[in-house]
Homo-oligomer: A and B are copies of this chain.
Amino acid sequence: MSILVVGSVALDTLETPFGRADDALGGSATFISAAASFFASDIRLVGVVGEDFPQDGIDFLRSRGVDLAGLEVVPGGKTFRWSGRYHDDMNGRDTLDTQLNVFADFNPQIPADWRSPDFLALGNIHPALQQQVLGQMAKRPKLVVLDTMNLWIDLTPDELKATMARVDVVIVNDTEARQLTGESNLIRAAKAIRALGPSIVIVKKGEHGALLFTPTAFFSAPAYPLEDLFDPTGAGDTFLGGFIGYLARTGDLSDDNLKRAVVHGSVLASFCVEAFSVERLKTLTEAQVSERVNAFRDLSAFALETLDQAADEA
């Protein structure tokens, strides 16, 4: 099934305790598309870059089977650049520089033959632009998944909530969930977000895993136990890409399959953070994904026996 991905395509300059990367491939649409491509084959990207966008970025996305007919290249323009430094404990980061460049005037135009996607991934962009994309759909996709960030919760909370009301799945991290709702308890916060309209809410908690809330299920996914986070950039987008990619591959929106999709998103994100930018996704194999999905199950699985059985054995 087809996935339409709308978001940023960027060049990131990153400093982490492990080293530095200059003008590395980044942006929400990049990570979402690349991650989704591990499960789904019909992925269409809408974004904007400048003439300076490197050919190897194009080549990488094409190699993952991503259709770039919706990637606008602005003549003479410069690509969106973000520069940041992660703290020593990797639990926070400082933005050193943001150059919106061509992204400042991003006005997503969905190609005419892309307006009926099965799945729609609204990467983190201004909520007005996310609504504009929704307005261009010829028919309602099977599932619309929205990501956002603290910036829009601060600047345009009403517009963001109005946008959330029009989607099926909202993915936020724990800080954003609390900020958006004023609820410190994450169960209450997720409930409050669901009350805005989206039937499904996912709260990402980094090293503590992720929570899935549907109308009929609650699911707590563990985090893969990583001793080193090499570069957390794009982990959230990669989660979204793995999640929607798995759903598009399977075409099944049951609670059980949504849980599996959360696990597959978590698995891809756990690989993403093992290297700078999309580097780990470049070398990742299907066998490695399968192996880690199985490892995920073992992380939190436990067999119950009744106490009576146990006492009999003792």
Contact = CB atoms under 8 A, between A and B. Distances in A.
Interface of A: 1, 39, 88-91, 184-188, 191, 205, 207-209, 211, 218-223, 225-229, 249-252, 256-257, 259-260, 263, 290, 293-294, 297, 299-307, 310-311, 313-314
A183 to B, nearest CB: 9
B311 A250 contact: yes
Contact of A89 (B184, B290, B303): B184
B307 A249 contact: yes
Given A208-B209, A249-B310, A301 B301 contact: yes
A305 to B, nearest CB: 8
B39 A307 contact: yes
Given A39-B307, A205-B208, A222-B222, A314 B256 contact: no
A302 B219 contact: yes
A220 B300 contact: yes
A252 B314 contact: yes
Contacts of A300: 219-222, 300-301
A187 B222 CA distance: 13
25 contacts: A88-B184, A185-B207, A185-B226, A185-B228, A185-B229, A187-B225, A187-B227, A188-B227, A209-B220, A211-B225, A218-B299, A219-B300, A220-B223, A220-B225, A220-B300, A221-B302, A250-B310, A250-B311, A252-B314, A257-B310, A260-B302, A260-B305, A263-B302, A290-B307, A293-B304
